[in-house]
Structure formats: structure tokens, C-alpha cells
Structure 1
């Protein structure tokens, strides 16, 4: 059953999207948009394709089929086209590090990330901050770890990230950890990673849980709530399937369904063609939800980095065959 509709109102400066190179911010200018999935008229079951795209030089480029595109977006091969070049360079330099673009994160990490990414900074600075706080030497991967680190380390972490609004971001990191440990932690999750008490106390009503979260966490506005739900919905199943309005724009540029249930159905339709072994999830249903979230992240990542055309071109060159999936 779809979650009950709830309205989250944006502040005057929330969700601005800068379109200049390297200054894209993940967000929305929606006024009071409902948090549940938007519905559009379902398209033909035959995966219709839009007119061929044309390059800047006027050459016609064939649009990949939706089957090709989804398969490619769910593969490791697509990762480089869905993240900043700076992040790729960081991975090559530092090795196996946790990144927002590719790693499975727990709900606490998703909450911190949502607050960081909804701030009025560039998308790349947001991702750099996330990479810094979740990896050595900080490892702020639980509320307990953040609290034990102390204010000095919070400030040092954001300073090392070379981000903007350092003092405010450091203050928010500490405050979020304190609230999670005080209000949303169960005896089985003493480190404060899962936020399960938040969901339990809300009767598994995702809209109630999000309202409580927004009221409890300083710095978490409408944009942050949408980012958080987009990422955590594969675990918070009462909120699934959900597509925020900003990600709808990115899916539209890829000629993929902007309706949540239509996209869910398209993934299911071609599921037998995916090599889903590497996808997170304890069972097939969870893996399908994870695939759905991955498609959303790949779409908005490519869009924010100006790599949509590159992604389409690469997908069109791929044969329809099983590729190793990731994320």
C-alpha cells in the first residue's frame, strides 16, 4: 500500500539548483509537493522510444532501448558516468573508500548525507564532505561514533573536506548524532545506525516518521527529507516506490518512466536479464527495491554531472547481455 500523502513545505532558500558547470545542487523548488510518488499515465508496455537524440554537431544518435539503458545503469560500468570526476580520482588515489555514489549506507549515514546534500553548496562539495566523514580517519558511520569523536573532530573533518559553511555543518553533525541517540535508538541498535525506533514509534507510517524526523533534526528541510526517502525507501518499504520531483527531471532526460510504479514495473519486466547477485538485499524483493533506488541515483548523478549524453551513448553501445551489477 502506498504511504499516506504528506506535505513538506520548503523554506525560501531550499532546493535551489545551480546549473553552471560544477555548481549543480541536488534539490527542488516545489512548493508543498507531496512526498508520495507522482503518477503519470502509464506508457505502452512495449518500451516506446522517443525520437533519436542529436549531438551538438547535428549527427543523429540512436537512443538505447530502455532495456539496454537500465541494464547498463545497474552495472559497474556506469559508475564513472554517474559521479564527479573528482570522486573517481579520489577512489584511484585512496583505494577502497566509501562513497555516496556507489556504497550501501545505513539509515544514519543516509540522514547525515541528506542534510549535507540539501545545504546550499555544490553537489561535488557535498559528496566530498560525505567521503571525508565516512572514511578514515573519522568513520562517522554511526551516531555513537560521531558523539564519541567530539566537537573538535567534527570541525576537523569538515575542514579536511574543504567545504563551505564548515562551522554550521560540524555543529549539525554533532546535533544529529545526539538526537538519534536520545530519541531513535533501540536496545538492539545502541550505536544508532538504523533509526528503527523512529519507524516503530510511527506505526511503520513513513510520512509520520518523516514528519517527526524533520521536526527533530535541525537543518533537515523538505529537500533533505526527499533525498533521505529516495535513498532509504528500499529499507523503509512502506515508503516504496517513491520518486522525488528532482529525480523525475533526470529520468525524463534519459527517456525513462518518471512514474514510480511504472519504473518499478519496467525493472521487474526485464529482471530475468539482470545479473543481480551483487545487488544488496536479502531476497529478490529487496534486490528489486535496491535496483530501483540505484536507477534513481544513477539518473540524478549523471544529470548533476552533465553526463547524460555520455551515459546514453555508452548504454547504446552495450549488447543486451548480463553485466555484473553493483550498488
Structure 2
């Protein structure tokens, strides 16, 4: 890669490379609780609301103690709706409360509370993982993509995971559009921050302009 491309990628991650999981206060590791929290976040982010609102809703749910499949499955419906309300996530609060409880039940009953078992069943196949993720109530192709994009640095077999939105953003910034070439620009091999930065930039024209117009260091 030329220096210009590397510089754009560096500015991109420096400016916008906070993952959505990190913003939602999820310390993402290959452990049952943070993986479930990421699934909850993917559910919220795939609804037709702003990402900022979805992240705030996730933090409120976690603060209310809804961090595990069992906690979600057994949570009082009013408590879920109240937590969503505190985040001003009201348009879809009733349907989200239903979906959250159903997701908790499914992870608890089908995977014994541990989404690492979903990874095992996928056997290194991203298509299989996507299909299993979309079996959860409220998680469609978009939600599955969000989950895998954010999880790729703790599930290295998923990496590099750069969806169409991220690749279109890369093209707009003059970066490579082949996933392997683009991932090679990731600092320390962590692709999730780069992918998140590309998605954030795709949603913010001013941010894209700022990254392109910032002079090299």
C-alpha cells in the first residue's frame, strides 16, 4: 500500500475507530456474557433508529442487569420497557422487549447460554454462522452482519469481515475494496475498529470530508 492510503486508514481509525461494542460499554471477549451483550446490541442496531440511540439503549439494558441470556429471558417486561424508555428508545420498545426475551430464551435453551457453541456449530463457515444468527427473533441479515463485524477480532475465523457498507465507504475514501487488502491496513491486525470506522464514515459526510481533507502528519 502507498503511504497516502496508509495515512488515510490511520486517520480513519484514529478519528472513528471506536467499535459500537466499546461505545456500548461491552468489554468484548470470547466469553458468554460479552458475546450475548453483543447480540443484544446487534438487535438494537438493526432496528430503524439511529446508532447513537441503539447504543444508549444497550447501555441502559446492561445497567438494569440484563446482561445474560437468563436475565433477558426472565426479565420483567415492564423493566425492559422502562430501560429502553430511559434511553428514549420508545418507537419499538414493545416489540424489542418481546424479541429480547425470546433471544434470551433461545440462547439459554439452544446454546446453554453460551454463543461460543454457535461458533462451534458454524465450524469456521461464515455463511453457517450467518444462518444460525438469523434464527434469533429480530436478527436478520443486517443484525447478523453487525454481530460478525464486531466479533471478528475475538472470533478470528470470521476475519476479515467487511460488509458491503464498509467496502463502499472504503471505495469513497480511496482505500482498497478487496477485504484482504483492506484488512492489511488494520493496526495490529484488529479489523473490527477499521470496519466500525468505515461504517461510521459511511453515515457521516462531514466525517468523510474531514478524514480526506486532513493533511498528512
TM-score in terms of structure 2 length: 0.83
Unaligned runs of 5+ in 2: 29-33
**TM-score, structure 1 normalization:** 0.57
Q: Distance in 2 between matches of 1:231 and 1:139?
A: 22
Aligned CA RMSD, in angstroms, stands at 2.7
User: In 2, distance between residues paired with 1:82 and 1:255?
Assistant: 21
**Greater gyration radius:** 1
Long gaps (5+) in structure 1 = 1-44, 48-64, 84-97, 186-191, 272-286, 320-327
* Aligned counterpart, 2:172: 253
SS in 2 for 1:234: coil
Residues paired across the two proteins, number: 210
The Cα offsets for residues 231-286 of structure 1, whole Å up to 9 and x where unpaired, read as 1122222222121111112222222222211112233xxx5xxxxxxxxxxxxxxx
Match in the other structure for 2:198: 299
Distance 1:182 1:258, change over 3 A: same
> Which residue among 101, 116, 119 is the counterpart of 2:44?
116
Corresponding position of 1:205: 125
Distance 1:254 1:130, change over 3 A: farther
Deviates more, 1:205-214 or 1:226-235: 205-214
Which residue is equivalent to 1:160? Answer: 86
Whole-Å separation in 2 of the counterparts to 1:169 and 1:299: 27
Partner deviation per Cα, 1:98-156 (whole Å, 9 max, x = no partner) = 624x854332122111121111223333233223223x3x1433223323533221111
| Structure-1 separation of matches of 2:116 and 2:138 | 21
3-state SS, counterpart of residue 212 of structure 1: helix
